[in-house]
Every structure is written in C-alpha cells, then in structure tokens.
C-alpha cells in the first residue's frame, strides 16, 4: 500500500513537518520483529470475520487501520483493514472503507506481520527490523497536495535472512528514531475495491478507478474469501478488471484486496547490491494528501 501515516498527516497540518525544507529519509524494513506498531501473527481464523492472533500484546484499538502481510494458508488476511473486537492479543478484520466483515480463504499455516498505521508516530514504532543504511531523498517538491522526490538508491544493501517487506519515509530533522516522525508506508501493493457484485461466470469486475497498474495473470484474493484471476492488464484509472470466468460464489460488492502492482519489487531479497526506489510518474508521485 501507498499510505500516509495519520500521525504524519497531522504533523503536516500542524506544520511540524515541511516536506521541502526538512531532511527527509527512507528506510528498508523486513518487519521480522515485534515492537511499537509492529506485531507478529500467530494465527488467523478461517471464519467471518477473520480473527488475527498476535504473538505478544499489540496495544491496538478498535477502528485502527492496519496492514497485514506474509500470512500463509489464509491468504485473504493479507491486506489493509479496519480492526474491531480488540482484545490484548487478538482483533477482527473488517474492510477499511465500509467496515464489512472479512471471510477467510483457507486454514492458517504460518507467518504474518501487522503494522498499525494509525498507531505509528515515530521511527521507533515501525523500524523492526531496519535493513541497511537509510537514504536521504533529494529534489523534494510539493504541488497541490502531491509530494514528489527524485529516484533514490540504497547502496550495497547487506544480505540477510528475511526479505525486505516495506519502505518507510520519515522526517529525519529531529535526529533520533524516538522523535523522527513517520510520513509514508510502501509495500508495493494497491488496494482494489469492488464497486458492483460479481456473479459466477462473470468475466469482468467493476472497481473503483485503479491507482496503479495490475499485471495480467494476477490472482486476487478478496476480503470475502473468494478469488479472481486477471486476464488482461489493469491500468491506472480503469473502472473494470478483466478476469477469467469467476468461480461459483462470486465476489460481494464492497470487497477489497491488496494487489501487487506491476514491477513493484517488494518483497525483495537482498544480496549485497543496490536497491532503487523510483516514485510514481502518475498523479500520486511519492504520495498525495
């Protein structure tokens, strides 16, 4: 997802962050360690709604927006959610826009991480675990609420066991992880929203206009537990996705899915080489407020 952290947005509104005047940096994270807004998943029920269990107490609240990934088996859990029914170590997954109950797509097998983007405020909330050396952004610009920067590169990123899951952009001006405000979160995915119910044997899906390119042959696991496979590339602004004939059960209106975009590059395995981040050339650039 390309998300602006709510606390980061508030920092812009209160003038605590200046995109064009402050020192802005980006870090790579593998999200393999719990702490702050990051927690690790131990189970996700194959139910409606899905209920995620965490390895430690998470500190999340009802209504928070979270991004989950890396869940094996019950892959419908991998996405961006509004959470409900919070206990110390569990929470229910509902859709971000409408708060609809999710439905599992299979039995949980292993893995999973979760980032609470509502809770996150400073680097210390989300830097588990940082990979390589953070890089400074250059050629910063802002126009009509759209932030942009030149492409930037992490040099000689060391080989490690865990894949890099996300890029986090932050304001480095305060100078320490405990006080550097987080701004934006990128995991190479875009959320797709179903705007019209899909029936069995349908070969297209009406969606809210796409904000990124989705490759042909992509299998999409929806929040209602059903799956679709694209039969053609979906382009920015498209209101329909072409799919192979939909399996029995269809897809409910309001269903969502986080889908990998064309040439997203995440997650990635480091090998000692360079990693480049190139901002979107379309309307959203680095991000839009």
CA distance 204 to 229: 10
The CATH number covering residue 225 comes to 2.40.30
47 with 110, same domain?
Answer: yes
Q: What is the mean pLDDT of residues 3-16?
A: 95
Among 121, 124, 110, residue whose Cα is nearest residue 29: 124
pLDDT band for position 14 (cuts 50, 70, 90)? very high
CB contact at 8 A, 243 and 230: yes
pLDDT band for position 156 (cuts 50, 70, 90)? very high
160 with 271, same domain?
Answer: yes
CB contact at 8 A, 170 and 25: yes
Tokens of 147: 């932030």
16 with 111, same domain?
Answer: no
Residue 282 confidence (pLDDT) above 90: no
CA distance 118 to 270: 29
Tokens of 137: 């952004």
Domain end residue (candidates: 116, 136, 157): 116
Average pLDDT of the chain? 95
The CA angle 47-44-182, to the nearest 5 degrees, is: 125
181 with 272, same domain?
Answer: yes
Domain end residue (candidates: 116, 137, 168): 116
154 with 213, same domain?
Answer: no
Tokens of 198: 């899909």
Among 255, 208, 273, residue whose Cα is nearest residue 103: 255
The CA angle 54-183-14, to the nearest 5 degrees, is: 120
211 with 105, same domain?
Answer: no
* Residue entry with tokens 């190139």: 278
pLDDT for res 152: 97
Percent of the chain with pLDDT over 70: 100
Tokens of 201: 């044997």
CA distance 58 to 112: 14
270 with 132, same domain?
Answer: yes
62 with 196, same domain?
Answer: no
Residue 231 confidence (pLDDT) above 80: yes
Which 3 state secondary structure label does DSSP give 14? Answer: coil
133 with 150, same domain?
Answer: yes
CB contact at 8 A, 173 and 23: yes
* Residue entry with tokens 């997802």: 1
* Residue entry with tokens 């991004």: 67
CB contact at 8 A, 141 and 148: yes
221 with 269, same domain?
Answer: no
Residues 6+ apart with CB under 8 A from 64: 82, 83, 116, 117, 118, 119
Which 3 state secondary structure label does DSSP give 11? Answer: helix
The domain containing residue 235 runs over which residues?
190-262
Residues 6+ apart with CB under 8 A from 82: 63, 64, 65, 94, 95, 96, 99
Q: What is the DSSP letter of 257?
A: E
Instruction: Convert the pLDDT of each residue in 241-267 to its tens digit.
Output: 999 999 878 999 999 999 999 878 899
195 with 184, same domain?
Answer: no
CA distance 247 to 250: 6
**How many domains is the chain partitioned into structurally?**
3
160 with 278, same domain?
Answer: yes
Q: What is the mean pLDDT of residues 24-39?
A: 96
pLDDT band for position 128 (cuts 50, 70, 90)? confident
């Amino acid at each position: 997802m390309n998300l602006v952290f709510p606390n980061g947005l508030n920092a812009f509104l209160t003038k605590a962050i200046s995109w064009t005047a402050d020192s802005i940096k980006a870090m790579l994270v593998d999200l393999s360690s719990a702490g702050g807004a990051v927690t690790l998943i131990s189970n996700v029920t194959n139910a409606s709604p899905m209920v995620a269990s965490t390895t430690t107490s998470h500190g999340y609240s009802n209504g928070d927006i979270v991004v989950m990934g890396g869940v094996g088996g019950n892959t419908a859990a991998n996405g961006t959610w509004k959470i409900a029914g919070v206990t110390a170590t569990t929470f229910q997954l509902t859709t971000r826009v409408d708060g609809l109950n999710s439905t599992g797509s299979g039995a949980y097998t292993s893995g999973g991480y979760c980032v609470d983007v509502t809770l996150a405020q400073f680097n210390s909330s989300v830097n588990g675990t940082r990979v390589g050396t953070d890089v400074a952004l250059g050629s910063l610009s802002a126009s009509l609420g759209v932030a942009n920067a030149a492409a930037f590169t992490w040099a000689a990123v060391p080989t490690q066991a865990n894949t890099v899951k996300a890029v986090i952009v932050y304001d480095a001006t305060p100078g320490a992880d405990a006080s550097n405000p987080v701004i934006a979160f990128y995991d190479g995915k875009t959320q797709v929203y179903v705007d019209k119910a899909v029936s069995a044997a349908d070969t297209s899906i009406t969606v809210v206009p796409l904000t990124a390119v989705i490759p042909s042959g992509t299998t999409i696991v929806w929040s209602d537990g059903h799956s679709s496979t694209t039969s053609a590339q979906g382009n920015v602004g498209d209101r329909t996705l072409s799919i192979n004939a939909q399996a029995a059960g269809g897809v409910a209106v309001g269903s969502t899915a986080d889908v990998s975009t064309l040439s997203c590059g995440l997650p990635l395995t480091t090998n000692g080489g360079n990693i480049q981040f190139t901002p979107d050339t379309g309307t959203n650039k680095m991000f839009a407020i």
